[in-house]
Chain A
Amino acid sequence: MSTENILLFGYGNHGRFIAKGLKEDGFRVKIIEARSDFYTKAKEDGFEDALQIDVTQDEELRALNPDKYTQIVCMMDDEHLNVFLTLSLRSLYAECYILSLSDSINTTKKLKMAGANKVIDLYEVSANKIHNILNRPVATKLLEKFFTEKDGISFQEILIPEDSFLTGMMTDDIDFSPFGVLLLGMIDEELGHAFIFITAGINHKIDVGDTIVCIGDKDKLEAFEEEIKKKES
């Protein structure tokens, strides 16, 4: 998973954070920036693989070979440019996965129309957070901890490999307690690509290629992942 290539447009306020996090986790990031000051900043921060191009030119975009990358992330500080970029990329490459950041309600809609696969709205997530703080203060605080802390309790998604001992078992029959983790939900490839929560109340059969999402202590999660990957003895 860590060998994924990511093409990141924009090294502004948000881009910086993402680039740093991705680098720490061992992703290969290529940074594209239109502004020279942000470009130099990226170089200074140690991103060798950075380029300064005019993103409004199709030739220059084509020269980047975006289809070689698993994900394209558009987070330019200028929202007009961001929409334009998303649109150009989509028109050039219909297949690639584009993720965009929006910082206003109206832009979200435009980005979706421009063809972004996923749009994250800055204000939408913040507004949701306020609601959560108001309605479920304790749960929100804990969840926040789960996300931000690298150790301790966190989430982990695990792809079920071939010959895992879980293959063919039903979710209700598996006893997760020896591993100290909880099963949150899974993507059952037999039923399409939607995420199904365990609490939906349907008993699923785990197959090869399914993805399960677990929650637990970081160490225990890793141990559990190892266990799954072990061949059935």
Chain B
Amino acid sequence: MRLWVYSDLSEDIIQEYNDARYLHRDFSVWDSLKTGLSVKLQYMLTPAALIDLLAILPAYRPLRVLRIFVLFRVLKLLRYTKSIKQFLEVLSNKKFELLTLLFLLVFIVMVAGIAIYVVEEKLNPNIESLFDAIYWSLVTISSVGYGDIAPVTDAGRSISMFIIISGIAMISFSTSVIVSAFSEKLSELKENRIIEQINKNKSFLLICGYGQLSKMFFRQSETEILNYIILEKNPEKVQLAIKDGYRAIHEDASRYDTLKKFNTDHADITMLCLADNDVENIYISLNAKSISHKIKVIARASSPAMVSKFKYAGVDHVLLPNVVANTMIYTAITQPTLHKAIHAILTGKNIARIDEVHVNYYPIVIGKNIEALHLKKNKLLFLGIKREGKFMFNPPLDTSIEDHDILLVMGRQISLEYFEMQYAGDV
């Protein structure tokens, strides 16, 4: 099974055929089969494949002797455990310390073994060879202490006291080295897990910076935002975000490697650059756009003068908190009634939502005119059609709807849902 999916034979054949056609060469199946099969053979010789083979062989009865290899099946688990890889990675970071300890251990065992051999070879009936001596010193230093061989002279006992103490020191030291290696890596492991999880989603949000605006963004959302991850380079703020119950990791979004970790090729990523520093926001936006144009970027800018720079960096939406707020205040002063209306629309209160109906999802309405949609009966206010980048406000009722139009309607949540249900149902 794995052999089959490891490489694609048909692809090789087709490739070869195309090449042959292109060069007017004679096409032979065998050549391509050979290249394809050699790839398969290479796979067969990898350790993972050999383990598989050994594990399944005992199923054939005459080879029952090989049943011992059933144990190898356990090794197959290795394939699925990333943790073991990570464990080894952590250990390899502390290679120097661990190796030094190992050499020290070997050194002490050898020295103590030789010493006890020299001192007690004649006096102790249990020590007959150098091997016995070294065996004794290892048993003692590891604090196992079988007691089958024991020193009988004062000098021998002194040696054993020395190696017992050095043994305890060494065990505690190596334990602390491994533990510290893990605690150093623990946060990174956790963050990697978060990234892995988010990468499984088709679309997600990357929020850069955890400040006032990000907090408010979460607080204002109508429904819980599911797929998101906060990138923040200030560790204190990361802690704060985690304390507030959000998924945050300590990463610098302006670095290429950071964004590369995400599934930029296949997922729909929307990035919110909400730091209160223009330089940083522009840099992050450029970074995102340089990795993939598919990433949608919404960036925050401090003043209208910055907008052109952001646009140049390829940002899809530039958000100007100051201007947005100013416009709101301005309407609140000059047209208080209107302000109430707009506020209700913008906060998406369910009584008056402005929504987009993408006609290509509702093929049944294509070709109909607006009157036939009975929008008024459904208590929907029809605002206009967006067609090929242009917006037609309040078009005549006999305008017919074309494919890829976007209808802008306003109404209650339930009316909108009903409308969508009505036309999506009978496709």
Determine, out of A36-44, A53-61, A161-169, A195-203, the stretch whose residues face the partner at the interface: A195-203
Q: Which of B324, B344, B394, B406 contacts A180 (CB 8 A)?
A: B394
A184 near B341 with CB under 8 A, answer yes
A104 to B216, CA, bound (A): 9
Q: How large is the interface on B (under 10, 10 to 19, 20 to 34, 35 or more residues)?
A: 35 or more
CB distance from B246 to the nearest CB of A (A): 14
A139 near B412 with CB under 8 A, answer no
Count of inter-chain pairs, beta carbons less than 8 A: 176
CB distance from A133 to the nearest CB of B (A): 5
Query: Is B422 in contact with chain A by the CB < 8 A criterion?
Result: no
List residues of chain B with CB under 8 Å of any chain A CB.
205, 212-213, 215-217, 219-222, 270, 272, 298, 300, 317, 319, 321-335, 337-338, 340-342, 344-348, 351-352, 354-356, 379-384, 386, 391, 393-394, 397, 406, 408, 410-412, 415
- Please name all residues of chain B whose beta carbon is closer than 8 Å to the beta carbon of A135 when the two chains form the complex: 348
Determine, out of A16-24, A85-93, A223-231, the stretch whose residues face the partner at the interface: A16-24
Which chain B residue has the least Cβ–Cβ distance from A154? Answer: B338
Q: Which of A25, A120, A139 contacts B334 (CB 8 A)?
A: A25
Proximity bits, A189-230, B CB within 8 Å = 1, else 0: 000000101111100000000010101110000000000000
Q: A73-B329, A128-B347, A130-B319 are in contact. Are A199 and B215 (CB under 8 A)?
A: no
CB distance from A224 to the nearest CB of B (A): 12
Q: A14-B325, A182-B383 are in contact. Are A127 and B345 (CB under 8 A)?
A: no
A120 near B328 with CB under 8 A, answer yes
CB distance from A140 to the nearest CB of B (A): 8
Lowest 9 CB-CB distances: which A-B pairs, in order? A127-B216, A126-B321, A123-B216, A199-B411, A195-B340, A127-B217, A197-B352, A127-B220, A201-B379
Q: A13-B322, A201-B412 are in contact. Are A157 and B356 (CB under 8 A)?
A: no
B219 near A127 with CB under 8 A, answer yes
A126 to B406, CA, bound (A): 25
CB distance from B51 to the nearest CB of A (A): 48
- Please name all residues of chain B whose beta carbon is closer than 8 Å to the beta carbon of A118 when the two chains form the complex: 332
A185 to B412, CA, bound (A): 13
- Please name all residues of chain B whose beta carbon is closer than 8 Å to the beta carbon of A71 when the two chains form the complex: 333
A199 near B351 with CB under 8 A, answer yes
CB distance from A142 to the nearest CB of B (A): 6
A-B contact pairs, 23 of them (CB 8 A): A17-B326, A21-B326, A27-B333, A99-B329, A101-B329, A105-B212, A120-B328, A125-B346, A128-B220, A131-B217, A132-B346, A135-B348, A136-B356, A139-B356, A147-B327, A180-B394, A181-B394, A182-B383, A182-B394, A197-B410, A200-B351, A201-B379, A213-B341
- Please name all residues of chain B whose beta carbon is closer than 8 Å to the beta carbon of A201 when the two chains form the complex: 379, 412
B322 near A157 with CB under 8 A, answer no
Proximity bits, A144-183, B CB within 8 Å = 1, else 0: 0101100001011100000000000000000001001110
B270 near A157 with CB under 8 A, answer no
List residues of chain A with CB under 8 Å of any chain B CB.
6, 13-14, 17-18, 21-22, 25, 27, 71, 73, 75, 99, 101, 103-105, 118, 120-139, 142-143, 145, 147-148, 153, 155-157, 177, 180-182, 184-185, 187, 195, 197-201, 211, 213, 215-217
Q: Which of B213, B332, B337, B338 contacts A126 (CB 8 A)?
A: B213
B341 near A197 with CB under 8 A, answer yes
A125 to B272, CA, bound (A): 16
Which chain B residue has the least Cβ–Cβ distance from A182? Answer: B394
- Please name all residues of chain B whose beta carbon is closer than 8 Å to the beta carbon of A123 when the two chains form the complex: 212-213, 215-216, 321
Which chain A residue has the least Cβ–Cβ distance from B353? Answer: A136
A195 near B341 with CB under 8 A, answer yes
A126 near B216 with CB under 8 A, answer yes
- Please name all residues of chain B whose beta carbon is closer than 8 Å to the beta carbon of A22 when the two chains form the complex: 330, 333-334
A63 to B322, CA, bound (A): 32
A18 near B352 with CB under 8 A, answer no
A126 near B331 with CB under 8 A, answer no
Which chain A residue has the least Cβ–Cβ distance from B300? Answer: A126
- Please name all residues of chain A whose beta carbon is closer than 8 Å to the beta carbon of B410 when the two chains form the complex: 184, 197, 199
A139 near B408 with CB under 8 A, answer yes
A75 to B76, CA, bound (A): 68
- Please name all residues of chain A whose beta carbon is closer than 8 Å to the beta carbon of B215 when the two chains form the complex: 105, 123
A167 to B291, CA, bound (A): 61
B338 near A213 with CB under 8 A, answer yes
CB distance from B156 to the nearest CB of A (A): 75
CB distance from B234 to the nearest CB of A (A): 18
Q: Which of B219, B329, B347, B386 contacts A142 (CB 8 A)?
A: B386
